[in-house]
Structure 1
Amino acid sequence: MNAPRTRVQRRPVHGVLLLDKPLGWSSNDILQKVKWLLRAEKAGHTGTLDPLASGVLPLCFGAATKFSQLQLEAEKTYEAIARLGQTTTTADAEGEVVRERAVDLAAITPERLAAVQAQFTGDIQQVPPMHSALKKDGKALYEYARAGVEVERPARNVTIHALELTLTQDDQAYPAIKMRVSCSKGTYIRTLGEDVGEALGFGAHLRFLRRVETGGIDVSRCVTLQALEAMSEEDRLAQVLPAQALLHRHAVVTLSEEDARRFLSGMRRRGTWPDAKAVAVYGERPQALLGVGRVEQGELIPERLLSPLEIQQILEGTPQ
């Protein structure tokens, strides 16, 4: 007879944990695992990483989930390796090989690499891969792909802020291109690797992908799942940064006690603040994050607000 499972006692946790996502985990699976480790009531991630990808994955808890969209919109930096000479059904190592071509290394000169690098830097268009979570008629593209159906996908505009291409070898010593990419949201690195391979004349598919930075958060600041699991519960909670860790690029506005109360009720406030599209708003007494907004012509306009209960829990010692 199986022993009854012990029910995890959840608790309010408010803040963001910077995780170095391991290979083989989906973003949601790793979120649920860390949520369980922290015994947190509410959690959300800031944009998915494929199971074959590792790297920066900020995980939001409690009040911080209100700001997760900021990371979805943020510029991201990846390091990737694309094997030359093979294209696959998924543009990565999970797919079946659909075409093979011999790779002429002598043709991949520094000048040729520089030309392809320039071709894919700046505003470009990408056709989203069939194996993606984008939806058509309410159904994810990967569902069509698994059924063997290919649907038309309009090209989308994305921005490659910086691109470095280097000739290298993959983990099996095949010719490959190493890419370091800083890009806008919505960029598919699998597609970029495939397109770079086609531009070089040999085709390619992704063998390695690691997100090394997102929205100013570098992977060097992240904790691994293995390290987190080995910690005591107290040390795990100490890894949770305050929600404002996601707001480091926001302007700061501090309100008096009366203005803070009105702001939290959703009312606009007037002041001498300069215009700003993104503002982190704090209360003066007590000193606490109230939410985010924007300033237009001296008017502070609320956008995402913490609840009084969330503020109280944070002030009472929920991880900061």
Structure 2
Amino acid sequence: MLEPTAQEEVRVSDDETQPDGRTDEGSGDDREDAAAPPRRSRRGFLGAAVTGAAGLAVGAAAGAVVATDSTLPPTPPTQRRRFEGKVVLVTGATSGIGRAAAKAFAAEGARVGFCGRRTDRGRQVEAEIRRAGGEATYIRADVRREREVAAFVDEVADTYGGLHVAFNNAGVSVDKPLHECSAAEFDRILETNLRGTFLAMKYEIPHLLAGGGGNILITSSVNALNARPGQSVYSASKAGQAGLMRSAALDYGPAGIQVNAIMPGTTNTEMVRQLSGTAELPDAAYRVGMARWARTHVPGAQRIAQAEEVAALALAMASDEYPFMMGSQVVIDGGATAFST
């Protein structure tokens, strides 16, 4: 079964740090397993596996337990400078894939303007980038609010003198059957994932046209391609993003603007941890449980993705290395989609 990706933030519940995101990077609205009809939820799959590993992780064999974790080692610093002199905009960059991408773009020479609704997190990411020698500006904006999106895009372009790359990554999720979703939840998911992407593109494109072209990349999800229980609303929003991307690629390709989408599978982020209902578990237990879950649900890689490796794909697609790529949906899910087809 496939899971929602993990972009940046937003909760389906509404506190100040929230709405954006996939429930502010995850949702407080996890669904519970129901007796009828039987359904397998993220919490059912992941929560049980992780909780079952908790006892192991706190026992005397902690060293052996952690050794079963199948995540990648930290990504080594890059020496590449593919974005030297370029202005890159990232939405939903206070955590998850967006945060990893903002830092990676800056490490490769980009001047990065990014947004998110959580000011403390945004300032932290901004400081991390600057301490590493990069250039970045955090601007608080909610992608559901048109005026904030327009002001954010314009401020990035005005601050740095144009726009070359836009990575539209902000997203939220909810994990429950369709009839259990409220109209308000439906609106929040569609407003963030689909309308938010539309608004960002609407205000990015004039800047890209003025500069003679550029690159727009969207974080969609494998859920746009494959269905799973409890993901009707999320999948609809992600399929909508894919349709938006494909048509826009045809509209603006002749003007030199590439429009593409990455389709991540389950990724190790705060949002996924919140959606799984395991946010309160010790880190060691979470890692071991996730590794066990991935061995059966990600049959190729047998692990979940790291935000940094999804960001690495985003950088490759946003670079000048693939000028013939337009309207493409590139899957990065460890073989889960291949297994399901």
**Which structure has more RCO (C-alpha within 8 Å, separation ≥ 6)?**
2
Question: Bigger radius of gyration, 1 or 2?
Answer: 1
Q: Per residue, is there more helix in 1 or in 2?
A: 2
The two structures share one fold, judged by TM-score above 0.5 = no
Q: Normalising by structure 2, what TM-score?
A: 0.24
Q: Normalising by structure 1, what TM-score?
A: 0.25
